[in-house]
């Protein structure tokens, strides 16, 4: 499915980038150009990236920092 219409980026491309180690939207933008035009795809791209990273690396444990 197309996620970023402006740059013709699909969910498969985002998942492939995640497997290569991309783990945030800024890196995804540099790698593929996602959300670099209108930005309306940013939330969906982040969601797919988070899901893909969960598949690649397993669940992430949140550990609060001492403030």
C-alpha to C-alpha distance for 23 and 29, rounded to whole angstroms: 11
User: In sequence order, what E strands does the chain have?
Assistant: 2-4, 9-10
Show Cβ contacts of residue 60 under 8 Å, excluding neighbours closer than 6 positions.
53, 54
> What pLDDT, on a 0 to 100 scale, did the predictor assign at position 67?
59
Higher pLDDT, 53 or 12: 12
Phi and psi dihedrals of 9, rounded to 5?
-105, 130
CA angle 54, 58, 61 (to 5 degrees): 95
Q: Break the chain into its structural domains and give their ranges.
A: 2-57
Q: Which is the CATH superfamily of the domain at 2-57?
A: BFD-like [2Fe-2S]-binding domain (1.10.10.1100)
> Tens digits of per-residue pLDDT, 27-61?
999 999 999 999 999 999 999 999 998 865 555 55
């Amino acid at each position: 499915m197309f996620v970023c219409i402006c740059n013709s980026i699909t969910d498969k491309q985002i998942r492939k980038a995640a497997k290569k180690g991309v783990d945030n939207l800024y890196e995804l933008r540099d790698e593929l150009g996602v959300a670099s035009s209108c930005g309306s795809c940013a939330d969906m791209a982040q969601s797919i990236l988070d899901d893909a990273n969960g598949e690649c690396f397993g669940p992430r444990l949140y550990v609060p920092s001492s403030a």
